[in-house]
Amino acid sequence: MNNKESLIAALYQADSLHNPSEIFKMFPEREIFALAGTILNDPEEGHLVGPTLIDAVRIGFDSLQQRDQIFNLLIFILKNPSLDSLIYRVTQRTILIHSGKWSSTEVRIFHTTFENNYLEELKSGDAYTAELSLEGNVLLSIYRKDDGLFQRSIGLLLTDPPPFIFDDRGGVDHLSVKYVKLLGHCFDYQPENPSIGKKFKAMLSEVENNPSVQSEVLYSIGICYLYDAFQANDIHSLHESLDQARRSFDEVQETEENRTDAALFDAIVNCYLSLLKPNDLNINFEQVTAYVRKAQQLLFDRLSGLPDDLPVIYSQAEFEIVRLASYLEQWVTQISEFPNQNPQLSLQVLARTYAAIRETDITSGLAYSALETSEIYVMLPYTASQFIRSKELVNQLQFMLSDESWKENATPLEFEFYSLVYDELSRHPFPKEEAATQLEQIRVAAEKEKPELAQSIKKWQERGLEKTGILENVIWEQLEQDGVIDVQTTSVQAIIKKLLPNLIDTLGKDYPHFREIRLALASIAHYFMWLYNTNATKSEKFLFQKPKGLGKDAKEQDLQNHFYQFTKHMPGIKCRLEESDAVPGRTDIMLSVQKTDFPIEVKKEEHDFSETNIHESYLAQAQTYATATAQVGFLFVLEVTVKELGMPLKDKTDYCHVDKITVPGTETPNCVCVFIFPGNRVSPSAHSWRK
């Protein structure tokens, strides 16, 4: 058997082991690359082992030494697309997955070759290779964030579209659909480019007889209207743009069945529109709730459709989807308990959910590179107009200033500052000179009481902004520092990133339920942060001191019932109380996530909630239910220790940890995720400067 035959046999063996990169342990790199061209050109074996060879390069890329040979091999395949379509596809994926590791010269060569292949295959009629080439050209420019290459890709899309083919047998024009999708991703990446939006609208008349392409064009037009909404300068423009987006998403569903992406954004936009009617102050609570339930169901349907190759440790899309579902649940509760406040939804929550879903689409199949780099490919969260930004601030300030618990514990300076900003931004401004004088008085007073506020005011004054601009920037900085703006983002992420690696280290990367654990952790972390930042509404009074709360009289049952009410409407999650049959002993709550059960025990601690005491006092019982399901359980501890006025709560991540239980007869310890809920509080600590 000669070297070529030996390498082909090794490729078959590596493929059967589902580990292509093993060939680099069997043969020297130099020998593999020397034989690669001959093997790929082999008429009998090339198309069979070629994909395995390129997969081996993709997987072992970072450990390989001969980078020039890797480039030569991949460009050889690109310049010979007729070798085999599967080999071409694996090559395209390899180039994109490692897009950040090529030299600028190599990237330009790849980009140009993809472009030439696309144009050539348009003529020859190989639609699949044309699709792969166009995708490679466009995504390579986006992943590299190379504006020059990106503009070339835009030019290619606008000047050389594929012919829109109508198939009266109901077939899908995959190349044209991919073309429209890529235009949409380009719009997400550079929404200020007017040519793309115009192209979508111009295409509508061209694709009337092509339903698959027409629905994608309508979907992209809906996306354009979402961006218009974030650029709105008044409530009427905001409402009109969101309504136009809703209509486009409706049309998508009428044109094509099972467009869950359009149905999802349609449902979410309806939630916002229900509270944005400019001339209607009456809230139809039943209608709003129906929109929320539909949106939540579609969000969790979307979770099940995410690719299986998402990173084990963290998935931004999963996080944002659970985040929005939890946020909508809190919002419905707020509407029911504070109907006179006319509470508004945060548009930034919509924007971040949209971005996470769209970025999952653009990096589908490339999760191990693109999704882990924190690169931004969707700009919607960063395009808000001054009006939208002011609206976000007004909504938050409205809730704060109407909260009696917050007002009781706010300093006079704090209340004066937030009231000034609220009056200014809600179109009830003070006269210009009076507002400037008042702001300067606040700055002087803050030099002693809150120096960072004084520094922030001075910084924006020195930049020469008008009073509204000064107040907007100062208030945004202060609310971010005080944990008020978007507290459900960084804090929840911090909790997940603290707990999940510990679970992975203990359970091993082959543990089969990490997706379910991620969703359970995200849901519980959102719930924890809701209670951590709660404003003492009726349903959360058990967390606060008497006379308005229950103080030390709060019971385990209060927390247990509250969590059940929070989760009972959440699709994709089932919560059962007082479970007694599924596991040895009785657990307080059984949380089921995508058919995987996680038992939850609820305890009350009056004296010591240190990790040592929690372990010694409660985890012996936790062991009885953690062993019976997925090796993971949760322990909720309602701590009601004495808290003094002016003493802040600990940092959010200090209230959660992973404990381990060694079970006789098992190789891997069982894990219990402990969440300690601070009760018997003086006041909500997230807002006040009296920390």
pLDDT tens, residue by residue, 203-216? 988 888 888 899 99
| Predicted pLDDT of residue 661 | 84
Of residues 219, 246, 217, 241, the one with CA closest to residue 228:
241
Question: What DSSP string runs through 113-144?
Answer: HHHHHHHHHHHHT-HHHHHHHHHHHHHHHHHT
- pLDDT over 90 percentage in the chain: 35
Can you name the residues that pair with 593 across neighbouring β-strands? 573, 596
| Predicted pLDDT of residue 520 | 85
The rounded distance, in Å, linking the Cα atoms of 166 and 163 is: 9
| Terminal-residue alpha carbon distance, the chain | 77
539 against 182, higher pLDDT = 182
Q: Which of 360-374, 522-536, 539-553, 594-608 comes out lowest in average pLDDT?
A: 360-374
Q: Are 683 and 405 in contact (CB under 8 A)?
A: yes
The rounded distance, in Å, linking the Cα atoms of 489 and 487 is: 6
Q: Which of 136-140, 274-278, 665-669 comes out lowest in average pLDDT?
A: 274-278
The pLDDT mean for the chain works out to 82
| Predicted pLDDT of residue 109 | 98
State the sign of the Cα–Cα–Cα–Cα dihedral 63, 68, 71, 73. negative
Phi first, then psi, for residue 676 (nearest 5°) are -105, 120
| Predicted pLDDT of residue 282 | 60
Could you identify the residue written with the tokens 């003094």?
A: 644
The rounded distance, in Å, linking the Cα atoms of 390 and 234 is: 11
| Predicted pLDDT of residue 419 | 83
> Taking 90 as the threshold, does the pLDDT of residue 89 lie above it?
yes
> What CA dihedral angle connects 188, 571, 520 and 681, to 10 degrees?
100
C-alpha triplet 141, 147, 148: angle, nearest 5°: 90
Q: pLDDT tens digits, residue range 399-434?
A: 677 766 567 667 788 788 888 888 877 755 556 667
C-alpha triplet 168, 170, 174: angle, nearest 5°: 110
Q: Are 671 and 659 in contact (CB under 8 A)?
A: yes
Query: Per-residue confidence at 65, pLDDT binned at 50, 70, 90?
Result: very high
When pLDDT is averaged across residues 606-630 and rounded to a whole number, the result is 76
pTM for the whole thing?
Answer: 0.75
Instruction: For residue 530, count other CB atoms closer than 10 A to its CB.
Output: 20
Task: Count the residues in the chain.
Answer: 691
> Taking 80 as the threshold, does the pLDDT of residue 483 lie above it?
no
Q: Name the packing angle between helices 467-481 and 412-425 (round to 10°).
A: 130
| Predicted pLDDT of residue 460 | 80
Q: What region, left, alpha or beta, does residue 342 occupy, with left being phi > 0 and alpha being psi -120 to 50 degrees?
A: left
Nearest-Å Rg of the Cα atoms of the chain is 29
Q: Are 384 and 157 in contact (CB under 8 A)?
A: no
| Most confidently modeled range among 225-234, 494-503, 544-553 | 225-234
| Predicted pLDDT of residue 175 | 93
Q: Are 48 and 90 in contact (CB under 8 A)?
A: no
When pLDDT is averaged across residues 281-298 and rounded to a whole number, the result is 76
Q: Which residues in 100-245 belong to E strands, given as ranges?
A: none
Q: Which of 51-55, 435-439, 477-481 comes out lowest in average pLDDT?
A: 477-481
**Within a 13 Å sphere around the CA of 571, how many CA atoms are in the beta-carbon half?**
17
Of residues 392, 372, 350, 654, the one with CA closest to residue 532:
654
> Taking 70 as the threshold, does the pLDDT of residue 73 lie above it?
yes
| Predicted pLDDT of residue 373 | 44
| Predicted pLDDT of residue 99 | 92
> Taking 90 as the threshold, does the pLDDT of residue 133 lie above it?
yes
Query: Per-residue confidence at 487, pLDDT binned at 50, 70, 90?
Result: very low
Q: Measured between alpha carbons, how far is residue 185 from residues 126, 143, 157, 208 in Å?
A: 24, 11, 12, 22
> What CA dihedral angle connects 353, 469, 393 and 248, to 10 degrees?
-40
202 against 519, higher pLDDT = 202
Could you identify the residue written with the tokens 């046999």?
A: 9
Q: pLDDT tens digits, residue range 343-358?
A: 566 777 788 888 878 8
| Predicted pLDDT of residue 369 | 43
| Predicted pLDDT of residue 353 | 80
> Taking 70 as the threshold, does the pLDDT of residue 37 lie above it?
yes
C-alpha triplet 255, 258, 260: angle, nearest 5°: 105
Of residues 675, 314, 315, 671, the one with CA closest to residue 506:
671
Residue 349, helix vs strand vs coil: helix
Q: Find all residues with CB under 8 Å of 75, minimum gap 6, and list them.
A: 109, 110, 113
Q: Which two tokens stand for residue 129?
A: 């290779």
State the sign of the Cα–Cα–Cα–Cα dihedral 361, 366, 372, 374. negative
Q: Measured between alpha carbons, how far is residue 344 from residues 39, 335, 476 in Å?
A: 63, 9, 18
Could you identify the residue written with the tokens 């210009």?
A: 432
Cis check: omega of the bond before 547, within 30 degrees of 0: yes
| Predicted pLDDT of residue 608 | 92
> Taking 80 as the threshold, does the pLDDT of residue 173 lie above it?
yes
Q: Measured between alpha carbons, how far is residue 295 from residues 182, 241, 254, 270, 395 in Å?
A: 26, 19, 18, 9, 22
**Within a 13 Å sphere around the CA of 208, how many CA atoms are in the beta-carbon half?**
3
Q: pLDDT tens digits, residue range 324-343?
A: 777 777 667 666 665 555 55
The rounded distance, in Å, linking the Cα atoms of 32 and 568 is: 57
Query: Per-residue confidence at 290, pLDDT binned at 50, 70, 90?
Result: confident
Q: What region, left, alpha or beta, does residue 18 occupy, with left being phi > 0 and alpha being psi -120 to 50 degrees?
A: left
130 against 592, higher pLDDT = 130
Phi first, then psi, for residue 592 (nearest 5°) are -110, 125
The rounded distance, in Å, linking the Cα atoms of 120 and 82 is: 12
Q: Tell me, letter by letter, the H, E, C secondary structure of 519-558.
A: HHHHHHHHHHHHHHCCCCCHHHHHHECCCCCCHHHCCHHH
| Predicted pLDDT of residue 604 | 94
